[in-house]
Chain A
Amino acid sequence: MHELSIISSVVETVIESLAAYPGARVLEVRLRVGALASVVTESLEFCYGIASEGTPLEGSRLVVNVLPVVMHCETCRADVELEGVQSFRCPRCGEPCSEMKQGRELDIDSIEIEDEKETA
């Protein structure tokens, strides 16, 4: 439900970072989104089309990489990847885990841009 405000913030941040690359055109924006970040990929993509309109991001691709939840298992003394988000038990030993290592990320990873400068 709050995907539009999240995407608006993505567009704003990317535009700010473009100040260092005058005249550049954005080809792709890559996000890292944890499985527990409570955002829906399809909804992000839909909102991206609207929010990027009339900006240097218009027409670019949005790539959303969804990261699985990783918990630390005290019993196994290891970081373990969960298969879903319906149970926070270690998939190896079955013990409950409470320390999350990955799963709530909501980050802009990188952007791919095209500019007129020649590479050195």
Chain B
Amino acid sequence: MTTRIVELRRGILKKNDELAAGLRASYAEAGVLVLNLVSSPGTGKTAFLERTLRELRARGSRVAALVGDLETDNDARRLAASGAPVRQINTHGICHLDAEMIGKHIDGWEGVTLGGLDYLFIENVGNLVCPSSYDLGEKIRVALLSVTEGEDKPLKYPTLFNSADAAVITKMDIAEPCGFDRETALRNINEIRPGIRIFETSAKTGAGMEEWLAYLAEARG
């Protein structure tokens, strides 16, 4: 009997990373800007995305969205009211979207091709932990935080906020009655991800949307 050490040095999520790299290349080739929206359940991702889709469409942009939830197509129906093509991904218990699910739902998406889009938004499953490990090939990962959640959320979930490219604060219209401490929230986001772009928005009033849309246009180049 012999015991020996075998070096493997392999990424555990290598399969996902490889699929994500393939997706990233296909997005770049098609010239579509892909964003991955991540937050807790109830932050207002769907309301924020619905407004974003509507405003982009009004400006003549070609947009579509994939939306992940454990069950139901409620969010897809809400988002479809914007007039944009929307496809629901039901994960049936899985707490995050992965690159394989994205690839499968882009393939065979009736009436939608990547080349025919300017922007593709992916609304992840509401969860501040697991989605941060799974690359979907996106160019921009957006972490959202609502004024009702507590200013210390970025400190409690540093992995997600640290891996984000942009941060969006939602529901600013109710900041005051919620006793939202804006300075502390901004400071905490900056502690975890120094220099990140932060957008203070309200899907209801439209506050902050101009700045957000300008950022999208710039990111698309």
Residues of B within 8 A of A (CB): 1-13, 15, 94-96, 127, 129-130, 132-133, 155, 158-160, 162-163, 190-195
Residues of B within 8 A of A111 (CB): 5-6, 8
- The reply to whether B94 and A110 form a contact with Cβ atoms under 8 Å apart is no
| Chain A interface size, under 10 / 10 to 19 / 20 to 34 / 35 or more | 35 or more
Contact string against B for A residues 80-107, beta-carbon threshold 8 Å, 1 for contact and 0 otherwise: 0000011111000000111010001011
Residues of A within 8 A of B194 (CB): 88-89, 96-98
Which residue of chain B has the shortest Cβ distance to A87 in the bound complex? B191
Q: Give Cα A85–Cα B162 distance, bound, in whole angstroms.
A: 9
Q: Give Cα A25–Cα B5 distance, bound, in whole angstroms.
A: 12
- The reply to whether A88 and B193 form a contact with Cβ atoms under 8 Å apart is yes
With contacts A31-B12, A108-B8 known, is A114 near B3, CB below 8 A?
Answer: yes
- The reply to whether B130 and A13 form a contact with Cβ atoms under 8 Å apart is no
- Name the distance in Å between B2's Cβ and chain A's nearest Cβ: 5
Kindly list the 4 A-B residue pairs having the minimum CB-CB distance in the complex, ordered from nearest: A96-B194, A38-B159, A2-B130, A85-B158
- The reply to whether B133 and A39 form a contact with Cβ atoms under 8 Å apart is yes
- The reply to whether B4 and A115 form a contact with Cβ atoms under 8 Å apart is yes
Residues of A within 8 A of B8 (CB): 13-14, 17, 108-111
Q: Is A75 an interface residue (CB 8 A)?
A: no
With contacts A1-B127, A2-B96, A116-B1 known, is A37 near B9, CB below 8 A?
Answer: no
* Contact partner, A38, options B9, B11, B132, Cβ 8 Å: B132
Q: Is A9 an interface residue (CB 8 A)?
A: yes
List CB contacts (< 8 Å) of A1-59 with chain B.
1-2, 5-6, 9-10, 13-14, 17, 21, 27, 31, 36-39
Which residue of chain A has the shortest Cβ distance to B129 in the bound complex? A38
- Supplied contacts A6-B12, A38-B159, A109-B9, 17 more A-B pairs, CB within 8 Å: A2-B130, A31-B12, A36-B162, A38-B129, A38-B133, A85-B192, A88-B191, A96-B190, A106-B11, A106-B12, A108-B12, A110-B7, A110-B9, A111-B6, A111-B8, A113-B4, A115-B2
Q: Tally of A-B residue pairs with Cβ under 8 A?
A: 109
- Name the distance in Å between A60's Cβ and chain B's nearest Cβ: 12
Residues of B within 8 A of A118 (CB): 2
- Name the distance in Å between A36's Cβ and chain B's nearest Cβ: 5
Q: Give Cα A33–Cα B132 distance, bound, in whole angstroms.
A: 14
Q: Give Cα A36–Cα B157 distance, bound, in whole angstroms.
A: 10
Which residue of chain B has the shortest Cβ distance to A10 in the bound complex? B12
Q: Give Cα A89–Cα B193 distance, bound, in whole angstroms.
A: 10
Q: Give Cα A87–Cα B160 distance, bound, in whole angstroms.
A: 14
- Name the distance in Å between A17's Cβ and chain B's nearest Cβ: 6
Residues of A within 8 A of B4 (CB): 112-113, 115, 119
* Contact partner, B133, options A27, A98, A106, Cβ 8 Å: A106
Q: Give Cα A100–Cα B5 distance, bound, in whole angstroms.
A: 30
Residues of B within 8 A of A39 (CB): 133
* Contact partner, B10, options A6, A36, A108, A114, Cβ 8 Å: A108
